[in-house]
Structure 1
Amino acid sequence: MEAWLNAISPFVRVVKIVKSSSLAGEWIDFDHVFTYIEQGEADFILNGVKYQAKEGDLFLMPPLLPHIIRTTSDVPLIQYIVHFDLFYDGVRSGWKETGLINELTKQIPEREQALANVFPVTHLRTADRMDVKRRFLLMQKVFLDEKANRDLATKAIVIELLYFFLKGQTGRNEQEGKLTKGWGVLERAISYIHERYADSGLDNATISGHAGVSTNHLSFLFKEQLQITIQKYITHVRIEQAKAKIMEGHKTITVIAEEVGFSSIHLFSRSFKATVGITPSQFYAAHSTVRKDG
């Protein structure tokens, strides 16, 4: 094992459990992301390479690695997720919004790239799955309790998770994972959508023009690789941004609807309920209760 691993001091930023009946989206974060698949199946496309994720798999995504996740089974996808820095840094420890990529968060310290070349997925043995799940659940409890020595306790658990991940690398299939068809085009289109989602006039022609292909070809790639239309993907991005803004609790639903690119509050409310299952107001009420209880 690499000697530098003896010096790591992980800082845990976020611990969460996410359940999704239908998921298709792209994420990019400035920190490491551990994801344990508790239930369901999905395609993980990491920097253009597709991996088939299933129950018991553990993924490790280093900083600034573009990753697309698409559910592929009728069973809801349940992910145990932890965001962390490999080494503690006083400035970076204050960064809480993991998806916020700007000129500052793009500056990744060299030591945070130490795991960049590690194979990103481990297929855990059944016995190890139980241990990993228990550790994730313990870490979530400790993280949410916010008691003394929380950072020390969560750091210790991340080190254990790294042990299980690296242990599971032995004997893996070197040929696993294949480059996704049309990845370069998809990445350009998706990045453009994430930059311009607030524009209510964003359309397929503009996006395909930026990606450098015809609208028909881009539509084909979205349906083939993500099983979703371009417009549905735009809606997904807008709703995810809206959820984050609602949970911040600083703005009205009407203002948020406009900021994320919906042309009317009626369209926003209808799209939000169709995607999330409840209205924006109900979502706000549920999360404001969580904040008060916490």
Structure 2
Amino acid sequence: MDESWMNSISPFVRAVRIMKSSSLTGEWMDHDHVFTYIEQGEAVFFLSGVKYEAREGDILLMHPFMSHIIKSTSTVPLIQYIFHFDLYYDEERSLLKYTNATKRMRKKVVDREMKLDSIVPISHLQLADRIDLKKRFLLLHKEFLDKRPGSSLIMKSICLELLHIFLKNQADRKDDEGKMTKGWAFIERAINYIHECFSDPQLNNVSISEHVGVSTNHLSHLFKKQLGISIHKYVTHIRIEQAKKRIVDGKLNLTEIADEVGFSSIHLFSRSFKSAVGIMPSKFAAMQTALINENR
């Protein structure tokens, strides 16, 4: 690829986190670049309908507005080192609090932020590069949390170094890596609809398949065969993720949150939340409050 344009980039790091999960994880779509390093475990990444099998030591780099589903496939928890960034600093975009892409954002795609949309989004690292990457990422994570004077400049430089590690390992990729998922057009239409209508407690397999324009059995078969999950499980996953965001915001009580994300009762919400997250929503809320107080 032509790399001359890279001389002008000035990355802005928006978010840095270490994520541990055992099933589904991640947003459906983000408005910025998402750099993901697999520290532990294995997972299947569906990126714009193309399936990639990732394992410990792999990097996935998603460009803005790339649809993605991430599903752990290992017996041990999936641990990901993740950071979000823009290729170029923009004062208005720097104020964005969240990373998930709204409909309004999708209509305002910035051309210069799409420079990496033609790359193969996976790199397999050699051991030396894995060690180097982990050192740099953990420093990036610390700078992001500390927010001391000059952190933005340090994070910019580390972002460039991590991008270099990703790009230099592209030469070792397999040319035939990644195949389009069969039936992806139907799956994508269904997922977009779920994200638009998750707050409707009447949302179910029938209404979703009617919107997509295929039979309920066929859509259910596609989800199970291609993604390894049921439609119902995916809907519940989205509702729980939306609930977690609202709990962190702290503006609504749990009953209001349950209603807003599409659960028919607080009891169903609590049971579903504990099944997915491992703890009751009340305990999750208490943990978030303690974390906020600790960082003050």
Which residue is equivalent to 1:162? 163
Distance, in Å, in 2 between the alignment partners of 1:24 and 1:16 is 13
Aligned CA-pair RMSD: 1.1
Q: Secondary structure at the match of 1:250?
A: coil
**How far 1:171 sits from its partner (Å)?**
2.9
Amino acid at match of 2:123: T
Is contact 1:25–1:237 with CA below 8 Å preserved after alignment?
no
Percent sequence identity is 58
- Please list, as runs of the form range in 1=range in 2, the aligned pairs for 1:90-109 lying within 5 A after superposition: 90-104=91-105, 106-109=107-110
**How far 1:105 sits from its partner (Å)?**
5.4
Residue by residue over 1:61-103, the C-alpha shift from the partner in whole angstroms, topping out at 9 and shown as x without a partner, is 0000001111111111101110000000010000121114131
Distance, in Å, in 2 between the alignment partners of 1:65 and 1:218 is 22
**How far 1:227 sits from its partner (Å)?**
1.5
Asked whether 1:142 is paired with 2:157, we answer no
Is contact 1:64–1:106 with CA below 8 Å preserved after alignment?
no
CA separation of 1:78/1:188 partners in 2, compared to 1, >3 Å: closer, same or farther? Answer: same
- Please list, as runs of the form range in 1=range in 2, the aligned pairs for 1:263-282 lying within 5 A after superposition: 263-282=264-283
Is contact 1:40–1:78 with CA below 8 Å preserved after alignment?
yes
Distance, in Å, in 1 between the alignment partners of 2:222 and 2:100 is 25
Amino acid at match of 1:90: E
Structure 1: runs of 5 or more not aligned: none
Asked whether 1:41 is paired with 2:51, we answer no
Q: Secondary structure at the match of 1:148?
A: coil
Distance, in Å, in 2 between the alignment partners of 1:151 and 1:94 is 14
Residue by residue over 1:138-197, the C-alpha shift from the partner in whole angstroms, topping out at 9 and shown as x without a partner, is 111110001101111111110000100011011321110011111111000011001000
Asked whether 1:187 is paired with 2:226, we answer no
Which residue is equivalent to 1:18? 19
Distance, in Å, in 2 between the alignment partners of 1:233 and 1:172 is 31
Q: How many residues align?
A: 294
Given the two structures, how large is their TM-score scaled by the length of structure 2? Answer: 0.97
Given the two structures, how large is their TM-score scaled by the length of structure 1? Answer: 0.98
CA separation of 1:253/1:273 partners in 2, compared to 1, >3 Å: closer, same or farther? Answer: same
Which residue is equivalent to 1:178? 179
> Which segment drifts farther, 59-68 or 24-33?
24-33
**How far 1:226 sits from its partner (Å)?**
1.7
Distance, in Å, in 2 between the alignment partners of 1:102 and 1:75 is 35
Distance, in Å, in 1 between the alignment partners of 2:165 and 2:61 is 11
Distance, in Å, in 1 between the alignment partners of 2:21 and 2:59 is 17
Distance, in Å, in 2 between the alignment partners of 1:275 and 1:24 is 11
Is contact 2:258–2:269 with CA below 8 Å preserved after alignment?
yes
Is contact 1:24–1:228 with CA below 8 Å preserved after alignment?
no
Amino acid at match of 1:144: L
> Which segment drifts farther, 15-24 or 30-39?
15-24
Q: Which 4+ runs in 1 deviate beyond 4 A?
A: none
Distance, in Å, in 2 between the alignment partners of 1:150 and 1:62 is 24
- Please list, as runs of the form range in 1=range in 2, the aligned pairs for 1:255-294 lying within 5 A after superposition: 255-294=256-295
Is contact 2:38–2:56 with CA below 8 Å preserved after alignment?
yes
